[in-house]
């Protein structure tokens, strides 16, 4: 799979610090205690753009700035932006007429855009361009009379948004097992697309099982699982192969973060745990552990990872070796309304 090279600016969001209830104990184990730190990890280009979009909107328009759903799936990012005056709402109906609303990085169905317009809202669309790319594919295949099997998780905002482009033509396939039972109208006019933040290996298995039933199944014109998801999974695989336990920093509703736990477990880690922050580390995870792997999801500020490393250092895991499997330097321009106002003031940052 092709991987563009990337270097990201430091995330601007500073997260509220959490104090661990009890420091981890430094319990001796035979051999050398160490941390393997996966790279790439943390913020992707789409998350950085979405978070900066809310910050810029607050700067340029003042509070409140409404945000439909979580701008990205990280509770620390959301809490920090809330402190600055962002108001997170479930639906555009919750925004007062004339208000300013930002659409999250995960994208929206056209019906949401229409609802915002008929309510007279000002809008800033922070949908990641790589999600928008999948929306365009859905629109095009629906127009060409294809039935679309959208591999992804029902209920996730991104899947709701992409399916909403062509609700009559999209069927969501949640797992490899569902590939064995999904019912289609015409196997000769069928294409699969996917959510951007899935497990690469599991998605390949789902496609394999779909193709066994529907040999004429078309592939997407380009990969839908994004570069950031792929790169973080490749890195955690290398770490997991050498680690006794892998810690993934990320929130419970973050698809790409949760996938990193699964990928670690499938690729050699004896155990893997997701934490929102250092406060959630548990002493018993480290009994007899020599090598701890650490990574973070695409919506996670690096500061939270550094706090986990500091906690691990207290427990004797002071040597940190980075395991880098790709360079990243991709960045996306801000949504147009912010760009225009921003360039009048001298650019994005
Ligand atoms: O991984 P998902 O799609 O749940 O989103 P998250 O906000 O965690 O990170 C990428 C984006 C947007
Ligand atoms: Fe975009 Fe991928 Fe980041 Fe999602 S995880 S915001 S698709 S770059």
Residues 162-194 pLDDT 10s: 999 999 999 999 999 999 999 999 999 999 999
CB 4 within 8 A of CB 328: yes
Judge whether 205 counts as a catalytic residue. Answer: no
What integer pLDDT is reported at residue 17 of this predicted model?
52
297 lines ligand 1 (CB under 6 A): yes
The whole-number pLDDT of residue 18 equals 52
Backbone torsions φ then ψ of 309, nearest 5 degrees? -65, -40
Residue 323 sits at the vertex; the CA angle it makes with 321 and 327, to the nearest 5 degrees, is: 130
In this structure, the number of other CB atoms found within 10 A of the CB of residue 122 comes to 16
Q: What does the DSSP assignment read for 238-261?
A: HHHTT-SEEEEE--TT-HHHHHHH
Check the CA dihedral 279-283-286-291 and report its sign.
positive
Question: Minimal CA–CA distance to 111: which of 150, 39, 164?
Answer: 164
Question: Are the C-beta atoms of residues 58 and 101 closer than 8 Å to each other?
Answer: no
For 89, list phi and psi in degrees, rounded to 5: -125, 160
Write the pLDDT tens digit of every residue in 306-318: 999 999 999 999 9
Q: Both tokens of residue 107?
A: 């994208």
Summarised one tens digit per residue, pLDDT across range 192-205 is 999 999 999 999 99
Considering 55, 147, 158, 307, which one is annotated as catalytic? 158
- 3 state DSSP class of 85: coil
Residue 226 CA to residue 53 CA, distance in Å, equals: 20
The pLDDT score that the predictor gives to residue 13 is 47
- Mean residue pLDDT of the chain comes to 93
| Closest to 151 in 3D by CA, of 217, 93, 97, 103 | 217
Indicate whether 327 pLDDT > 90: yes
Model confidence band, residue 21 (pLDDT cutoffs 50, 70, 90): low
Question: Whole-angstrom Cα distance, residue 157 to residue 138?
Answer: 16
| Atom number in ligand 1 closest to CA 196 | 3
pLDDT of residue 249 exceeding 60, the answer is yes
Confidence of residue 62 (pLDDT cuts 50, 70, 90): very high
Amino acid 10: pLDDT: 41
**Cβ atoms of residues 240 and 201 within 8 Å:** no
Q: Give yes or no for residue 299 CB within 6 A of ligand 1.
A: yes
Pocket of ligand 2 (CB under 6 A): 44-47, 105, 128, 130-131, 196-197, 226, 228-229, 256, 298
**Pairwise CA distance, residues 57 & 290, whole Å:** 46
Closest to 147 in 3D by CA, of 224, 216, 225: 216
CA atoms within a 13 Å half-sphere pointing along the CA-CB vector of 232: 30
172, 174, 276, 310 from 292: Cα distances, Å: 36, 31, 17, 13
Best mutation site among 128, 232, 258, 301 for ligand 2 pocket (most ligand atoms within 8 Å of CB): 128
Between the CA of 13 and the centroid of ligand 1 the distance, in Å, is: 16
Whole-angstrom distance, CA of residue 63 vs CA of residue 78: 15
* Average pLDDT of the segment spanning 220-240: 98
Cβ atoms of 235 and 324 within 8 Å: the answer is yes
Lookup result for tokens 């699982």: 225
Measure 273 CA to ligand 2 centroid, in angstroms: 22
What DSSP assignment string belongs to 39-57?
A: ES-S--HHHHHHHHHHHHH
What tens digit of pLDDT does each residue of 67-101 get?
999 999 999 999 999 999 999 999 999 999 999 99
- pLDDT tens string 266-292: 999 999 999 999 999 999 999 999 999
pLDDT of residue 14: 44
Smallest CA separation from ligand 1 atom 3, residue: 255
Residue 137 exposure: Cα atoms within 13 Å on the Cβ side = 24
Output phi, psi for 321, to 5 deg. Answer: -110, 130
Q: How far is the CA of 63 from the centre of ligand 1 (A)?
A: 25
């Amino acid at each position: 799979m092709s991987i563009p090279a990337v270097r990201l600016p430091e995330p601007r969001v500073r997260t509220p610090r959490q104090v661990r209830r009890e420091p981890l104990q430094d319990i001796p184990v035979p051999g050398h205690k160490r941390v393997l730190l996966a790279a790439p990890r943390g913020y992707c280009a789409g998350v950085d753009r979405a978070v900066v979009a809310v910050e810029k909107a607050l700067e340029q328009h003042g509070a409140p700035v409404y945000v439909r759903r979580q701008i990205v799936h990280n509770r620390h990012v959301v809490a920090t932006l809330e402190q600055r005056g962002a108001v997170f709402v479930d639906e555009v109906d919750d925004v007062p007429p004339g208000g300013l609303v930002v659409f999250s990085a995960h994208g929206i169905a056209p019906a949401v855009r229409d609802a915002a317009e008929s309510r007279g809202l000002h809008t800033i669309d922070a949908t990641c361009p790589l999600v928008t790319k999948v929306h365009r594919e859905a629109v095009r295949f629906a127009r060409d009379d294809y039935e679309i099997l959208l591999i992804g998780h029902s209920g996730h905002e991104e899947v709701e948004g992409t399916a909403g482009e062509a609700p009559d033509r999209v069927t969501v396939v949640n797992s490899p097992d569902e590939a064995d039972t999904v019912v289609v109208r015409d196997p000769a006019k069928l294409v699969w697309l996917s959510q951007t933040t899935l497990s690469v290996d599991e998605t390949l298995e789902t496609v394999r099982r779909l193709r066994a039933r529907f040999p004429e199944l078309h592939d997407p014109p380009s990969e839908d699982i994004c570069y950031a998801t792929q790169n973080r999974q490749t890195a955690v695989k290398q770490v997991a192969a050498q680690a006794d336990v892998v810690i993934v920093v990320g929130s419970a509703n973050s698809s790409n973060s949760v996938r990193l736990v699964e990928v670690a477990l499938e690729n050699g880690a004896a155990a893997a745990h997701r934490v929102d922050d250092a406060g959630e580390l548990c002493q018993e995870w480290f009994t007899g552990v020599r090598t701890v792997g650490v990574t973070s999801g695409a919506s996670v500020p690096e500061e939270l990872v550094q706090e986990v490393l500091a906690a691990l250092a207290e427990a004797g895991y002071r040597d940190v070796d980075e395991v880098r499997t790709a360079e990243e330097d991709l960045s996306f321009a801000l949504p147009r309304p912010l760009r225009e106002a921003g360039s009048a003031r001298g650019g994005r940052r």
